[in-house]
Amino acid sequence: FPDAGARGVTVLTRNLYLGADVDPIIGAQSLAQIPGLAGAAWATIQATDFPARAQALADEIAATRPHLVGLQEVTLYRVQTPSDAIVGGAAPATVVAYDFLEILLDALAARGLDYEAVASVTLTDVEVPAFTGAPPIGFQDIRYTDREVILARGDVAAGNPQGAPYAADLDLNLGGVVPIELKRGWVAVDAQLAGNTVRFVSTHLEVQAFAPIQVAQANELIALLADSPFPVILLGDFNSAADGSQTPTYANLSAAGYVDVWNRSHPNDPGYTCCHVEDLSNQTPALTQRLDIVFVRDAFTVASAGLVGGAQTVILGDEPEDRTASGLWPSDHAGVAANLQLPPAFASN
């Protein structure tokens, strides 16, 4: 992946994968089912080994050297042993089991890479009892906290951090009883790139099965960014198939002036980014949809030949050699890195 050059900016979007499919927990018909389902998910989370996957993700960042990185599913897992929730307690779990952000930053630092978190927003925060076999009673409480994070390279000045959950979210009753909110959100910074200010935004929208919520979230984001005083780079996991086959979100973003960089630079390549199997053990790629996208708006003007000044995009984490030594894919999603060239007139402002 070449250096972006004096007028260039390299960006990366990466869903880190929380480590297991939690849909069975969300769909549980009774509270009695939760500990067994949560215990199975916790075993999968441990088996999908984020510390090992973080090494592969750090290698991707080392290879592409993005100025800015948008991260989704930057999970924080905390545990309480023994469980108090199993007997009706409500004390929150506080012992950190996995902090995906710190693990990834440590892997980057070990490679001599200078990155820091410059913006973060906390989204879903849910705790459930899990049968894990842990002494003394066999049950632990597992607390899942989801975050959106932006990383900036050490030589990038990034300020005005912003972020929030969307007003539209998925409200459910866990086990048919306990109300929970599954929140999605966005995070943004204004960054000095190639001598100019660019608004860099990362998001993670609701899944396609809940299309009305997803569409409302995207429309909220479109409205939030409509009056941006700076050109916008918007990337993330949009959970909306780019071919338009599932939800209108992609089309709505396009209608609002957002240009899909991959489409412009690879018009005949589907560029699939989702999804590997739950335990990340598939031997060959299992990607069938393009959900992870880099959009640009305003100064990144589109011409018939593509983006003015040119653009190069690559899919990461979609080749067998990208896997960890134990054969795990870096995430259930592939990532997308884009090398964007600002138009000369803009770059000289």
What domains are defined for the chain?
Answer: 8-347 (3.60.10.10)
Is cis: bond before 161, omega within 30 of 0?
no
Residue 3 has pLDDT above 70, yes or no: no
Which of residues 344 and 158 earns the better pLDDT score? 158
Provide the whole-model pTM.
0.94
Residue 1 has pLDDT above 80, yes or no: no
DSSP tag of 284 = S
pLDDT score at 117: 99
pLDDT confidence bin for 298, thresholds 50/70/90: confident
CA distances from 95 to 11, 35, 85 (A): 33, 19, 15
Of the candidates 297, 303, 292, the one whose C-alpha atom is nearest the C-alpha of residue 337 is 292
How much is the average pLDDT of 232-248?
93
pLDDT score at 271: 92
How much is the average pLDDT of 123-130?
97
Question: pLDDT tens digit string along 212-236?
Answer: 999 999 999 999 999 999 999 999 9
Strand, coil or helix: what is 72? strand
Instruction: List Cβ<8 Å contacts ≥24 apart for 318-324.
Output: 318/272, 318/273, 318/285, 318/287, 319/285, 320/283, 320/284, 320/285, 322/56, 322/60, 323/56, 324/49, 324/52, 324/53, 324/55, 324/56
pLDDT confidence bin for 43, thresholds 50/70/90: very high
Range with the lowest mean pLDDT among 151-165, 168-182, 216-230, 301-315? 301-315
* 23 and 33 Cβ atoms separated by less than 8 Å: no
Strand, coil or helix: what is 110? helix
| pLDDT > 70: percent of the chain | 92
pLDDT score at 4: 58
Question: pLDDT tens digit string along 47-62?
Answer: 999 999 999 999 999 9
How much is the average pLDDT of 70-94?
96
The chain-wide mean pLDDT, for the chain, equals 92
- Per-residue exposure over 334-343, b if at least 16 CB sit within 10 Å of its own CB, e if not: bbbbbbbbbb
Range with the lowest mean pLDDT among 48-57, 264-273, 319-328, 331-340? 264-273
Lookup result for tokens 């959900």: 291
| pLDDT > 90: percent of the chain | 80
pLDDT score at 307: 40
CA distance 123 to 301: 33
CA distance 158 to 160: 7
Which of residues 339 and 119 earns the better pLDDT score? 119
Residue 7 has pLDDT above 80, yes or no: no
Residue 242 has pLDDT above 60, yes or no: yes
How much is the average pLDDT of 207-215?
96
